[in-house]
Amino acid sequence: METLAATLRAAKVIPVLTINDASHAVPLARALVAGGLTALEITLRTPAAAAAVAAIRREVPEAQAGLGTVTGVEDLALAADLDLPFAFSPGGTGLLLAEAVRRGVRFIPGVATASELMTALAHGFSLVKFFPAVQAGGIPMLRALAGPFPSVRFCPTGGITPDNAGTFLGEPNVVAVGGSWLAPPADQEAGAWAAITGRALQIKANLG
């Protein structure tokens, strides 16, 4: 957990990537790395996702490519087989949590309530994704959860923007934030890599 938390803390901002065409994966990863963002969440929302992760790992060694939208045990198998640095889920069923432990996956389950957090903790996960962060209560919710769960660390995603990222990162129980705004699919399709690098540089500069 400590190593994983340190990885995310160092990253601060994690682009949440939906890649429709695996041939975009490498230029996309290079564009983000050029902007200073190296921890990349490739969501399992498209058929190209697995090939995209593999291509980035092969060709962009400066990037730390992990998975997002892990919802089934087969997704955990992929994370384990590739020995990925992290695997995010929007939630955390008992089956998924137990399988992540069994396979030793660096898993970050999603929670939006105290009970979901308690289920994650019962399986040994004290580093969680707070999803969907803004819609599920934002900063006031994170502060409320800090009382009963002081040792839990969160990675909020869902509704994070360049304007609110710094405020979330200012919370003591937040290690990193994730967001899709950095590299929307339209920019990938247009090959607008410089625009993606520009957004990465901008958020890095804003956060200092």
Catalytic residues: 41, 129
Instruction: Give the DSSP letter of residue 112.
Output: S
Give min distance, CB of 180 to ligand 3PG, in A: 3
Give min distance, CB of 128 to ligand 3PG, in A: 13
- Asked if residue 159 lies in contact with residue 129, where contact means CB atoms within 8 angstroms, the answer is no
How many beta carbons lie within 10 A of that of residue 84, not counting itself? 21
How many beta carbons lie within 10 A of that of residue 174, not counting itself? 22
- Asked if residue 140 lies in contact with residue 132, where contact means CB atoms within 8 angstroms, the answer is no
Nearer to ligand 3PG, 21 or 181 (CB): 181
How many beta carbons lie within 10 A of that of residue 156, not counting itself? 30
Nearer to ligand 3PG, 27 or 181 (CB): 181
Give me the residues that bind ligand 3PG (CB under 6 A), please. Answer: 16, 43, 68, 131, 157-160, 178-181
Which 3 state secondary structure label does DSSP give 14?
strand
Give min distance, CB of 147 to ligand 3PG, in A: 25
Nearer to ligand 3PG, 138 or 178 (CB): 178
Q: What burial letters (b/e) apply to 86-112, b meaning 16+ CB within 10 Å?
A: bbbbbbbeeebbebbeeeebbbbbbbb
Within 8 A by CB and 6+ apart from 23, the residues are none
Give min distance, CB of 136 to ligand 3PG, in A: 12
* Strands across the sheet containing 110-111: 110-111, 127-130, 153-156
Nearer to ligand 3PG, 93 or 180 (CB): 180
Give min distance, CB of 181 to ligand 3PG, in A: 6
Nearer to ligand 3PG, 68 or 92 (CB): 68
